[in-house]
Amino acid sequence: MSQIVEPAATRRAFVVGGIGLAASLALPRTAQSAQSPADINLAASPGRWPLVGEQNLETNVWNYNGRIPGPEIRVRQGEPVRIVVENKLDEETTVHWHGIRLSNAMDGVPGLTQPPIKPGETFTYEFTPPDAGTFWYHPHADSLRQLGRGLAGALIVEEASPVAVDRDILWMLSDWRLDSEGQIFGGFGNAMEAAMSGRVGNTVTINGALSNEVAVRAGERIRLRLANCALARIMALRFDGHKPWVVAIDGQPCEPHQPGSGRILLGPAMRVDLIIDMRGEPGRRYHVTDDFYDGLAYWLTQLAYDDKPSVRAHPLDAPVSLPRNPLTEPDLTSAEHHVLTLQGGMMGGGGMMGMGGMHGMSHRASWAINGKSMTGDGHAGMPPLLTLQLGRTYVLTLRNETAWWHPMHLHGYSFQVLTRNGSPVPHRQWADTILIPPKQSADIAFVANNPGDWMLHCHVTDHQVSGMMTVLRVA
């Protein structure tokens, strides 16, 4: 079973909220189903979209199926999916299914795993997602412009049996750099910016629109799926008056926990699933604030309670624990260990890397991993930094020597996060993208059970295309 969730339903549920709310409170939620598996069609093309919501002001974007974000694709765990991607852009593209453990040929890296999709051509992606969870899709070609102009969408893999929540909602968080006319600034790939934070924008949208409020009802339990689709913006969300439980990270269930700081930290490409019990007062509003950057806090939206009394007489207690996915536990006793050192950028002590990229493309090398800079979006003949033995457990230490944060993404795998700066990481955390603060390190572990050439790169897109990228070969 697979389907695209219709835009009307999506917008009503996420943006307007109130209509149909009572009807959706049935517990547990019933998965919508199509009777037979059908092709899903995605067309990447230029378009227009009312990002800032003012009348007659539409932003020129690039999008999938005419929408920002692209259609929410919902599929079932363990059931085959066929997605036909048509390229209506005037440049090459590919689609990467971020976080899905699939075969290498379906991973969407141009040159490395498939020929790029030329303008006017199509490519069919086929895979069977082994894991339920919150994933997303985006291009892996000309990534700065294609992602930065809006090509991204959610890929939700539903659990075999529905999770007991009143509502399951998704916030695709995107960051745009808009001018006073509401149009996207050009100038992607600025070298100075690339050597610093990357292209952080000035407008953050939820599901393709500025959000003033999200309607909620007292007493309801919401599963809120957060996905940071920004090129570079890191987010730290606070839910005033609420105590969300983190139940999954990058799609992978963890032990439910409330983050000590109360903040939900989301680097680019990261997802977090929350369970939030709406224990606010009917009729009140509560800010959701992003205060990651010092002095630049803003409120993203408000949880707006309607006037109706609580939907339940007694608050729910323990949050739901999501069923685990079929991940292979690393065998740490026999693991092979490697250190990957993240280097470069401004203010890191050594200045900018200044070295020529191994693969120049049009991007200047500002960053490196273990002294090597691979630039661009992927291409044929990228030499692997490491060759991993199929079936063996590996522990990688990701050591950030730079002055900047890096969300490091490994394709084709979910890895266990073992330690940060040598201290054990609690709550059984697995991820596909790990945010590493300046001068800090993390140890991750995984069983190299998926053969192929897999990218490992920073998901601050400017960092990726200017050198913080490498390839791990599993053979």
Per CB under 5 A, residues contacting Cu ion are 406, 458, 460, 463
Judged by phi (left if over 0) then psi (alpha if -120 to 50, else beta), residue 9 lies in alpha
- DSSP assignment of 223-246: EEEEEE--SS--EEEEETT--PEE
| Residue 96 Cβ vs Cu ion, minimum distance, rounded to whole Å | 17
Instruction: Indicate the Cα dihedral angle 182, 186, 190, 196, nearest 10°.
Output: 20
Q: What are phi and psi of 146, to 5 degrees?
A: -70, -45
* C-beta neighbour count of 224 within 10 angstroms: 23
**Toward Cu ion, which CB reaches closer, 217 or 463?**
463
Handedness of CA 301, 307, 309, 311 (dihedral sign): negative
**Toward Cu ion, which CB reaches closer, 274 or 458?**
458
Pairing of strands 96-98, 81-87: unpaired
Distances from the Cα of 156 to the Cα of 66, 225, 389, 404, angstroms = 20, 9, 31, 31
Pairing of strands 96-98, 133-138: antiparallel
Q: Is there a contact between 393 and 447 (Cβ–Cβ < 8 Å)?
A: yes
415 class by beta-carbon count within 10 Å (0-12 exposed, 13-18 middle, 19+ buried): buried
**Toward Cu ion, which CB reaches closer, 136 or 405?**
405
Distance CA 146, CA 375 (A): 16
**Toward Cu ion, which CB reaches closer, 286 or 415?**
415
Distance CA 136, CA 155 (A): 5
**Toward Cu ion, which CB reaches closer, 230 or 460?**
460
**Toward Cu ion, which CB reaches closer, 365 or 458?**
458
| Residue 474 Cβ vs Cu ion, minimum distance, rounded to whole Å | 23
**Toward Cu ion, which CB reaches closer, 363 or 463?**
463
| Residue 413 Cβ vs Cu ion, minimum distance, rounded to whole Å | 19
| Residue 69 Cβ vs Cu ion, minimum distance, rounded to whole Å | 23
**Toward Cu ion, which CB reaches closer, 144 or 247?**
144
**Toward Cu ion, which CB reaches closer, 101 or 463?**
463
Distance CA 301, CA 440 (A): 32
Biggest distance spanned by C-alpha atoms of the chain: 65
| Residue 410 Cβ vs Cu ion, minimum distance, rounded to whole Å | 14
